[in-house]
Chain A
């Protein structure tokens, strides 16, 4: 015991402390792991943090030839201009409405699908089904838009069928409410399969013994789903829900742009198409940046709020 103490002189003692707590030593010890991290960090810095500099454009009368350095500062004028435009509010409302519909109808879809898949016993069939379900995710919206037009336009397959059955045709794409339904359904069709991946991963993490125990107790399938599977993926559901709420004000460009048409523009004109029109189309990058900034700020507020509520009700948030 004494000999051991003698060996440890003060300097080495302090080194040991350093070794235990210091970042440099952690770096030395796990340099391979940190090395692996470098690439994603570089990605974030180059593509996510560096472009933040461009936000300055929102406060300038941005001149594409002079760049950020040479453009005139105008304070909040750009924002004032945007907030005075009716078309901006329409785009904002539409974005919220479409996203809300997607949330209400689209969010449960992959969960239900994942549970159904999880219950399939025959592995080959399960794998095949999964593959088929993933496929639509890899189709571009341009192609999907073409398919939707071919199937649901007034001379399309669906209406020919309805007419053949003597039911009369339905204006799937040119009547506003119908269009909304189509928009949501097509979105689910494209994404539900892909969305199951995370839930399935979470389900495989559920302790098998729970199922065995419930079998012995004579639980029915529905009971098992309700009391074991769903609680098992609860946290995943909540995290994905928070993330989706954070994206409430942002919306992809392709889907509303491709599926929309002038007859339903009251619903199909969203923030991304607005930004495209004023930013790229009219070359007014200041406005486009300002709208983008607005979108990010509101998105952040939504995200933080959702996270806060989740924590309050006793769930684990995303941070």
Chain B
């Protein structure tokens, strides 16, 4: 009897614990977005107090990249400059709304759904723009651009702007991308020299080099990794190896077909599988979801070859620890995956960058366009990218600005303040030649690597095909297929060689059933319609 009486408080206790657990969960979530929003309100009030009338608040999205030592994203040299030079004359306060970089689409979806999206929102994901346009949730910008965006229109030009046209209307403003190289491949030249091997220029030469790295361990390191790789989806990848296996196809087949079914694709994956099973690739790459492990391996001098972004070894988080740990390490860019036609075919970026959109819920669309218009002037862009001379940059002998890395208030949380200079992605000195020189100058001591890598990775390139009509199937299945892509790549590289053929066919069939076929069908339809319109 007594025991039975105990049950009531007991079950109450269970309920209570579950409630507590729920509470702590929600607290946790609130915390993630909490500090940023509270800091925004305090900082703006301190920067901008104007006596005449009450200023309008223009909200602008900003990526929070969680960089160590980053300043308050709403109160630093750059935001103060913006508020001083754009805010004051327009009786406005520009307030930045931080969004975590790695969850940009997820967070933007939530902001849009709650009607709290910033006046100037943006995303790198074209599908998301399509989706918002289709749901009639973002503004059509043709008239506003014509009235308030003259400089902006001139700066971006017709070609770039065309990437933001959906169903004949300007729904997004794409940023201008000034450096078009995407991926890059790098090999330890000091190791090759030690082994008396040349810089590889074909797949087989690379293979020999990788085997030699594995067997002879020229760096004398514990656990040499001939080819450093991480789980698919982060910066690391397999470069244009897969492209080099692809057989020639017509444009229609190439841009509308599924990569997995492309002739040669299976052989490419099989080749990677062979390398993995011969212990030439990072053994636990698929577990390395954040690429932290492979970064550590590279900077500890264990990795002979890797493929990542074209500027990866120039980045501070790689170049500095590498120099400290293994001063003799010398990563040089190579082009090694030659296809049957003797070309080093590889993908490069289109000339557009991030897509800027204005949500329907915004009350400041006019001001938003004015803001972007203001930003496209060369002086403003120069300051936002390079800051003050002597503080954020110094001029070298050729009249090229060199970035001085700063911390705290003057720190740039993204490369050349990418996240604040929405209309441009990459150096903008008004001249392509100068831009490349300036790019190289961002990596002191590695200028040559930078120039070479840029040159290699803008040769033999093709760009992603631009469909002017939303692909409904892609909107629906895109994310699922994207995840599947990653899983398939990782699994196929690391499975047992005997299982490869079956696994490949099985997974590709699954992929097609999970939406791959639907996306391809729709792509063909849109492609045909586009060709018909051209005539």
Taking Cβ atoms with an 8 Å cutoff, the residues of A that contact B are: 40, 43, 47, 63-66, 85-87, 149, 153-155, 173-174, 197-198, 201-202, 205-207, 232, 235-236, 239-240, 243, 261-263, 265, 277-278, 280-285, 316, 318
Contact = CB atoms under 8 A, between A and B. Distances in A.
A282 B514 contact: no
B21 to A, nearest CB: 10
B128 A283 contact: yes
A261 B290 CA distance: 11
B19 A235 contact: no
Contacts of A154: 283-284
A43 B26 CA distance: 13
Given A64-B135, A198-B10, A201-B13, A262 B490 contact: yes
Given A43-B19, A63-B135, A232-B3, A282 B480 contact: yes
Interface in B229-288: 231-232, 283-284, 286-287
B223 A263 contact: no
A282 B22 CA distance: 26
Given A174-B286, A262-B286, A262-B490, A316 B479 contact: no
Given A205-B2, A207-B2, A282 B113 contact: no
Chain A CB within 10 Å — which of B110, B231, B479 has the most?
B479
A240 B11 CA distance: 9
A131 B516 CA distance: 52
A170 to B, nearest CB: 13
Contacts of B490: 261-263
B106 A280 contact: yes
Q: Is the interface of A mostly helix, strand, loop or mixed?
A: helix
A273 to B, nearest CB: 9
Contacts of B380: none
Chain B CB within 10 Å — which of A40, A232, A262, A263 has the most?
A262
A283 B105 contact: yes
A65 B14 contact: no
Contacts, number: 117
Interface string B466-507: 000000000110111001001101110010000000000000
Interface residues of B, number: 53
B135 A65 contact: yes
Given A263-B286, A282-B478, A86 B113 contact: no
Contacts of B2: 205, 207
B109 to A, nearest CB: 4
Contacts of A277: 479-480, 483
A239 B7 CA distance: 9
B394 interface: no
20 contacts: A47-B26, A63-B136, A64-B112, A65-B135, A149-B287, A174-B286, A198-B14, A205-B6, A207-B2, A235-B4, A235-B7, A236-B6, A239-B11, A261-B490, A262-B486, A262-B487, A278-B479, A278-B480, A282-B476, A283-B128
A288 to B, nearest CB: 11
Interface in B10-48: 10-11, 13-14, 17, 19, 22, 26
Interface of B: 2-4, 6-7, 10-11, 13-14, 17, 19, 22, 26, 105-106, 109-110, 112-113, 115, 128, 131-132, 135-137, 223, 231-232, 283-284, 286-287, 289, 293, 359-361, 475-476, 478-480, 483, 486-487, 489-491, 494, 510, 513-514
A85 B494 contact: no
Nearest to A274: B480
A261 B287 contact: yes
Given A65-B112, A154-B283, 20 more contacts: A40-B19, A47-B26, A63-B137, A64-B109, A149-B287, A153-B293, A154-B284, A155-B223, A155-B284, A173-B284, A201-B10, A205-B6, A232-B3, A236-B6, A239-B11, A239-B14, A262-B486, A262-B487, A278-B480, A282-B478
A259 to B, nearest CB: 10
Nearest to B5: A205
A205 B361 CA distance: 59
A2 B164 CA distance: 96
Given A262-B487, A283-B109, A283-B131, A202 B6 contact: yes
Contacts of B223: 155
Contacts of B10: 198, 201-202, 236, 239
Contacts of B13: 198, 201
Nearest to A140: B28
A282 B476 CA distance: 7
Contacts of B513: 86
Contacts of B483: 277
A197 B17 CA distance: 10
A63 B115 CA distance: 12
Chain A CB within 10 Å — which of B22, B286, B287, B490 has the most?
B287
Contacts of A239: 7, 10-11, 14
A318 B17 CA distance: 16
A280 B284 contact: no
A261 to B, nearest CB: 5
Given A154-B283, A174-B286, A262-B491, A318 B3 contact: no
A64 B7 CA distance: 45
Nearest to A273: B483
A153 B286 CA distance: 11
Chain B CB within 10 Å — which of A154, A206, A282 has the most?
A282
B14 A85 contact: no
A240 B10 CA distance: 10
A202 B10 CA distance: 8
